[in-house]
């Protein structure tokens, strides 16, 4: 599912940002449990992807990292941790379905 989205030309970094944005937006809500690949990269992917892009434009995230002192390494570590958690959740989900 994710491979197909990337093969369609969607940017890896933008996909990571979309995952982080949805996780932040949904944290502590009844939809938090849906922060998983099937939901994020499924039928509503285009909507979530566009929403992330719009969010970043509205908040001026498209700036030079050096000027803004953004710690890209820390940000990438946090994204990698989130992606790892999503993979674990996905494995658990498949375990529950196919047990």
pLDDT of residue 12: 82
For residue 90, pLDDT beyond 80: no
pTM exceeds cut of 0.75: no
H helix and E strand count, the chain = 6, 0
Task: Give the model's pLDDT for residue 30.
Answer: 92
Residue 65's pLDDT band (cuts 50, 70, 90): very low
* Cβ atoms within 10 Å of 39's Cβ, excluding its own: 17
Q: Higher pLDDT residue, 90 or 65?
A: 90
Tokens matching residue 56: 């970043």
In this structure, are residues 78 and 20 in contact, taking their beta carbons and an 8 Å threshold?
yes
Higher pLDDT residue, 14 or 46?
Answer: 46
Judge whether residue 66 has pLDDT over 80.
no
């Amino acid at each position: 599912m994710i491979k197909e989205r990337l093969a369609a030309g969607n940017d890896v970094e933008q996909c990571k940002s979309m995952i982080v944005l949805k996780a932040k937006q949904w944290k502590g809500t009844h939809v938090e449990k849906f922060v998983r690949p099937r939901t994020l990269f499924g039928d509503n992917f285009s909507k979530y992807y566009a929403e992330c892009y719009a969010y970043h434009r509205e908040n001026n995230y498209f700036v030079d990292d050096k000027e803004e002192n953004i710690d890209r390494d820390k940000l990438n570590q946090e994204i990698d941790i989130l992606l790892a958690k999503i993979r674990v959740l996905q494995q658990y989900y498949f375990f529950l379905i196919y047990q």
